[in-house]
Amino acid sequence: MFGSVLVANRGEIAVRVFRTLRRLGVRSVAVHTGADAGARHVREADESLLIPSYLDIGAVIGAARAAGAEAVHPGYGFLAENTAFARACGEAGLVFIGPPAGAIEAMGDKIRAKRTVAAAGVPVVPGRDEPGLTDAELEAAALDIGLPVLLKPSAGGGGKGMRLVRDAADLPEAIASARREARGSFGDDTLLAERFVENPRHIEIQVFADGHGNAVHLGERECSLQRRHQKIIEEAPSPLLDAAARDRMGTAAVAAAKAVGYVGAGTVEYIVSADRPGEFFFMEMNTRLQVEHPVTELVTGLDLVELQLAVAAGRPLPLAQDDVRLDGHAVEARVYAEDPARGFLPTGGRVLALSEPDARVDSGLDVGTDVGGSYDPMLAKVIVHGADRAEALRRLDRALASYTLLGVATNVGFLRALLGHPAVVAGALDTGLVERELDGLLSGAAVPPEAFAAAALERMRALESGDDPWTIPDGWRPGAHAWTPWIITPSGGVPVEVRVRGRASSAEVRIGDAEPVAASLAGSVLTYGGRTVAFASARDGDTLWLGREGHAWALSEHVRAEGGAASAASGDGVLRSPMPGTVLAVKAAEGDRVEPGRPLVVVEAMKMEHTVTAPLAGVVTRLPVRAGAQVALDAVLAVIEEA
């Protein structure tokens, strides 16, 4: 076994690899950029070195040699499937903990991969994949295959450049659009056309091979719950497959690995029709450890990182195919820094409070961690195991309910809604389910009245604690208390008037035009209308973060209301950033007259652009940002005075 290993990655995957290295007594080395100097993965390594970028091959190799590392674990993302990096490790005398560069290269090109596995007898989706197909040839190929078809870039993944075409009239524009996006994302506009499998399910097989000619599969993972081609929830085994189907798909996956001389951990991904589960087609092979590998670990009892290390060190696999046993059911949920209520826009901020559930959590977070827009928005994974699927789903839901992260908006509440959807509970999955059911899944995302009440009472209590009784805003007058009005604004939402009569310990609360409700706040426990609930809380300036049952809300004291001023506050022309990120362009100047819908500022985060437009006609009176500036979530971008 190696004495020292450098992990060429960050966040939750680096922390997860370090966990195995510590258990095995192997010294761990981290790399980090300047922005990540205080990150958890840096603190958990035995040694850490500064590099300019996680994509800088020379810097990573130099760090490994300077630290005396014998091997490099690439994690996933960044350089994990980069053939130049794998070769550079070998040239530097370092062991690359992954497959040979030739295997990465063979499987990295979708056209070449499809032909390679087809020659090995693995079923592939009917289609046309000759290099250099012209637009006219692609159009003819699509019609020959039969609509609907899926246009896919040959050079990349992640859903970029993919187009589903159901109508022949849409083919020319779909081809042109797919080429543009593929060229911009991967520098290569080569496209292939495949038959689109209706009601598709995404099922993948974990394979392992060593340098002695041995290869096994470790069962399957179902990854059909996706949004925009990005996985959200994964499980093992699949509720669709029986033992015979699992054996056929596993045997084919092992054949695909052997066809390219594979060594190490890899994943063969298939598409399977929910209507015809006995029919499966090869999609691609990921030549690295997968994000969702923990569900396989929980049902097999194996540590996949330990297996990677052993195989990379030249040892034979410690098990044969007949030794692989699947026990129970495991489910994983990905926690993303995104706001479902705002179209899943990337979020960010500083982690103010963090309480993780009593379950396996792969995370790179700590209190104080700054979440920015430079990297993938996945923050953590929550993984549970149960005796069967129903038990595993229940345990995951309860684990998410006890997950508290304040300071950064996440998708945890959305994940709970998805787990409770009848189709998910029944195992009737397909890759389009989330998008079809999105409106219903988001219906519970609104801020509940209890949160508004808690925020207003928390403000009352803070002022009540002062020494001057005349500063207490209880509206006291001879004979009675009057209403004290507050404006509470949820992040990205509309200001809400909340009126309080009495003290925080015993009051009436009126939210908007609703009837008054008896309420009190003691510590973090709110009693509201006879119902008592506990919140986690953290304050960041004028913003109070409240968390409960996996949900989190950022509530700001927008302005203290005077009379009926709430309506004025909600109709102002203040434009705020929908996400933390970088200002790409400013398309107006102070003094400009603008009409509703005119683009004013373009903000980018996590490779996503968002154009902020004028909500009303008027004059731009403030424009405090410039191109290149970093902005926080809800930072003021512009102010328009209504004409």
**Residues near 156 by beta carbon (within 8 Å), at least 6 away in sequence:** 182, 185, 186, 188
**Residues near 317 by beta carbon (within 8 Å), at least 6 away in sequence:** 208, 209, 210, 212, 214, 215, 216, 307, 310, 311
What confidence tens digit (pLDDT) does each residue in 515-542 have? 999 999 999 999 999 999 999 999 998 8
Q: Is the pLDDT of residue 474 over 80?
A: no
What confidence tens digit (pLDDT) does each residue in 205-214 have? 999 999 999 9
Of 3.20.20.390, 3.40.50.1820, 3.30.470.20, 3.30.420.40, the CATH number of 335-444 is 3.30.470.20
How many Å apart are CA 224 and CA 253, to the nearest integer? 18
Q: By mean pLDDT, which of 53-67, 251-265, 383-397, 617-631 is the weakest? A: 617-631
Half-sphere exposure of 233 (CA within 13 A, CB side): 28
How many Å apart are CA 75 and CA 94, to the nearest integer? 16
Question: Which pLDDT value is given to residue 179?
Answer: 93
| Ramachandran angles phi, psi of 375, nearest 5° | -125, 180
Question: Which pLDDT value is given to residue 275?
Answer: 83
The fold adopted by the segment(s) 572-642 is: OB fold (Dihydrolipoamide Acetyltransferase, E2P) (2.40.50)
Check: CB of residue 99 under 8 Å from CB of residue 266: yes
Question: Which pLDDT value is given to residue 563?
Answer: 40
For residue 426, give the amino acid letter. Answer: A
Q: Is the pLDDT of residue 70 over 70?
A: yes
How many Å apart are CA 292 and CA 40, to the nearest integer? 21
Question: Which pLDDT value is given to residue 401?
Answer: 98
The pair of structure tokens assigned to 97 is 């903990």
Between residues 557 and 301, which one has the greater pLDDT?
301
Question: Which pLDDT value is given to residue 468?
Answer: 52
| Ramachandran angles phi, psi of 237, nearest 5° | -80, 180
Going by their DSSP bridges, the two strands 215-227 and 200-209 should be labelled as antiparallel
**Residues near 392 by beta carbon (within 8 Å), at least 6 away in sequence:** 235, 328, 329, 330, 331, 384, 385, 386
The pair of structure tokens assigned to 173 is 């524009």
Q: Check if CATH label 3.30.700.30 holds for domain 449-568.
A: yes
Going by their DSSP bridges, the two strands 484-490 and 476-477 should be labelled as unpaired
Between residues 334 and 634, which one has the greater pLDDT?
334
Split at pLDDT 50, 70, 90, the class of 197 is confident
Q: Is the pLDDT of residue 472 over 60?
A: no
**Residues near 186 by beta carbon (within 8 Å), at least 6 away in sequence:** 153, 155, 156, 160, 161
Question: Which pLDDT value is given to residue 572?
Answer: 59
Residue 502 burial (CB count, 10 A): 20
What confidence tens digit (pLDDT) does each residue in 392-436 have? 999 999 999 999 999 999 999 999 999 999 999 999 999 999 999
Question: Which pLDDT value is given to residue 167?
Answer: 95
How many Å apart are CA 44 and CA 399, to the nearest integer? 25
Residue appearing with tokens 């059909």: 224
Residue appearing with tokens 């939402």: 493
Q: Is the pLDDT of residue 478 over 60?
A: no
Between residues 372 and 97, which one has the greater pLDDT?
97
* pLDDT (mean) for 223-231: 93
Q: By mean pLDDT, which of 253-267, 442-456, 567-581, 620-634 is the weakest? A: 567-581
For residue 402, give the amino acid letter. Answer: S
* pLDDT (mean) for 255-264: 96
- Cα angle value 104/105/111 (rounded, 5°): 115
* pLDDT (mean) for 146-160: 83
Split at pLDDT 50, 70, 90, the class of 606 is low
* pLDDT (mean) for 590-606: 86
Structural domain boundaries of the chain?
A: 4-97, 101-107+201-327, 126-195, 335-444, 449-568, 572-642
* pLDDT (mean) for 119-140: 90
For residue 566, give the amino acid letter. Answer: A
* pLDDT (mean) for 253-259: 96
Which CATH class, in words, describes the domain spanning 126-195? alpha beta
Q: Taking the model in full, what pTM does it have?
A: 0.83
- Secondary structure E strands in 541-631: 543-548, 551-559, 574-576, 581-586, 593-594, 599-605, 608-613, 618-622, 630-631
Split at pLDDT 50, 70, 90, the class of 562 is very low
* pLDDT (mean) for 562-567: 38
Split at pLDDT 50, 70, 90, the class of 110 is confident
Going by their DSSP bridges, the two strands 163-165 and 127-128 should be labelled as unpaired
Say what percent of the chain tops pLDDT 90: 73
Q: Which DSSP string corresponds to 254-267?
A: HHHHHHTT--EEEE
Residue-averaged pLDDT of the chain:
91
What confidence tens digit (pLDDT) does each residue in 271-287 have? 998 888 888 999 999 99
**CATH second-level architecture of 101-107+201-327?**
2-Layer Sandwich (3.30)
Residue appearing with tokens 């009176």: 621
N- to C-terminal Cα separation, the chain: 72
Q: Is the pLDDT of residue 89 over 50?
A: yes
Q: Is the pLDDT of residue 45 over 90?
A: yes
| Ramachandran angles phi, psi of 427, nearest 5° | 80, 15
The pair of structure tokens assigned to 297 is 């670990």
Q: Is the pLDDT of residue 568 over 50?
A: no
Split at pLDDT 50, 70, 90, the class of 187 is confident
Question: Which pLDDT value is given to residue 542?
Answer: 84
What confidence tens digit (pLDDT) does each residue in 494-506 have? 889 999 999 999 9
What's the Cα-to-Cα distance from 51 to each of 364, 376, 600, rounded to whole Å? 19, 19, 36
How many Å apart are CA 552 and CA 409, to the nearest integer? 7
Q: Is the pLDDT of residue 475 over 80?
A: no
* pLDDT (mean) for 557-586: 63
Question: Which pLDDT value is given to residue 575?
Answer: 86
Check: CB of residue 117 under 8 Å from CB of residue 280: no
Check: CB of residue 241 under 8 Å from CB of residue 235: no
Split at pLDDT 50, 70, 90, the class of 571 is very low
Of 3.40.50.20, 3.20.20.70, 3.60.15.10, 3.40.50.1000, the CATH number of 4-97 is 3.40.50.20
Q: Is the pLDDT of residue 643 over 60?
A: yes
Check: CB of residue 4 under 8 Å from CB of residue 49: no
Asked whether the domain spanning 335-444 has the same topology as the one spanning 101-107+201-327, the reply is yes
What's the Cα-to-Cα distance from 338 to each of 253, 557, 608, rounded to whole Å? 34, 23, 12
SS (H, E, C) 283-347: EEEECCCCCCHHHHHHHHCCCHHHHHHHHHCCCCCCCCHHHCCCCCEEEEEEEECEEHHHCCEEC
Question: Which pLDDT value is given to residue 608?
Answer: 64
The pair of structure tokens assigned to 632 is 């926080």
Q: Which DSSP string corresponds to 386-398?
A: ESSHHHHHHHHHH
